[in-house]
Amino acid sequence: MEHDTWMRSLFASIDRMDAAGFAGHLARDAVFAFGNAPPVTGREGIEQAVAGFFSALGGVRHAIEGHWSCGNALICRGVVTYRRKDGSGITLPFANVMILAGGLATDYRVYADLTPLFAPAG
């Protein structure tokens, strides 16, 4: 699958907050690291971690501002708008680096600061 098509399918699953759909883009032994949280290894563990994150949100929407491929690496950047459970929202920048093999991510790193998302209203 072409990187652009794969990436759009991946982000569509995230924006639906579909943890199983997200995990379907990953190799069985994938490594996933989100921000400065400890990496999670294995598709099932990653699906559980992502489902837990989604449960803290009211919604999510990504806007990809650019993406690049270099061999089996896919790099993208953009902004993500999170809707909190209280209905308020916040838009934050992100960058992702993914290593693909056989149409699945074997290594997926999200570079983002979620501190503002969970900061007390003030």
Q: What is the DSSP string of 6-28?
A: HHHHHHHHHHTT-HHHHHTTEEE
Where residue 118 falls among pLDDT bands split at 50, 70, 90? Answer: confident
Give every strand in the sheet of 26-34, ordered side by side. 40-41, 26-34, 104-111, 89-101, 73-83, 59-70
31 vs 118 pLDDT, higher one: 31
Helices and strands (DSSP H and E) totals, the chain: 4, 6
Mean pLDDT value across residues 22-35: 97
Task: Note whether 16 and 60 are within 8 A (CB).
Answer: no
Instruction: Specify the pLDDT at position 52.
Output: 97
Q: What is the pLDDT of residues 53-109, one digit of tens each?
A: 999 999 999 999 999 999 999 999 999 999 999 999 999 999 999 999 999 999 999
pTM, to two decimals: 0.94
DSSP for residue 51: H
Give residue 103's region: left, alpha or beta (phi > 0; psi -120 to 50): left
DSSP for residue 1: -
